[in-house]
């Protein structure tokens, strides 16, 4: 499964943004196969942190290095396959380029996407992961 940036961050930093069922399901899925994130999520995390919207209990560089080790997640690069999938998205879908890249990455890999983004969820452009769905 591919994690949207906010799901990846909420999963790692804890708190109440994810339900207990979502957290347990993500932990269980991670034990079965590596969870994946788009490379653009690294940039989004940096932007959130630099704008004071991502509070961490350690320096950002240390957090990012720990948050991206292969035992935690697999970072999927932005490659030609993803770009071609972006080109196939409707032009009126989501104005946020990062969200377009994340959706295209999920589509290119045929993975369900864990997201709480309403526009993505309602688009029917990608399979949406839920805690009780297969990973």
Report the C-alpha gap between 58 and 87 in whole angstroms. 38
Kindly report which listed range (15-19, 50-54, 102-106) carries the lowest average pLDDT score.
Answer: 15-19
Mean pLDDT of 72-80: 97
Looking at the chain, the whole-number percentage of residues with pLDDT higher than 70 is 98
- Given a cut of 90, whether residue 14 has pLDDT beyond it is no
- Given a cut of 70, whether residue 35 has pLDDT beyond it is yes
Domain boundaries, the chain: 2-123
- This prediction has a pTM of 0.94
User: Angle at CA 73, nearest 5°, toward 123 and 7?
Assistant: 40
The DSSP secondary structure of 44-91, one letter per residue, reads HHHHHHHTT----SS-HHHHHHHHTSTTTEEEEP--HHHHHHHHHS-T
CATH class of 2-123: alpha beta
Select the more confidently predicted residue: 132 or 61: 61
User: Angle at CA 35, nearest 5°, toward 41 and 57?
Assistant: 55
């Amino acid at each position: 499964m591919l994690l949207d940036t906010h799901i990846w961050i909420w999963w790692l930093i804890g708190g109440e943004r994810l339900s207990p069922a979502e957290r347990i399901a993500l932990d269980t899925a991670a034990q079965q196969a590596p969870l994946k994130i788009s490379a653009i999520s690294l940039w989004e995390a940096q932007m959130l942190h630099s704008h004071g919207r991502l509070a961490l209990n350690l320096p950002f560089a240390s957090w990012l290095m720990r948050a991206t080790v292969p035992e935690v997640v697999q970072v999927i690069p932005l490659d030609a396959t993803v770009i071609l999938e972006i080109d196939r998205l409707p032009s009126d879908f989501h104005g946020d380029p990062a969200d377009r890249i994340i959706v295209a990455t999920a589509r290119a890999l045929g993975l369900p996407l864990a997201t709480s983004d309403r526009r993505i969820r309602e688009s029917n452009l990608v399979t949406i992961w839920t805690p009780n769905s297969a990973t």
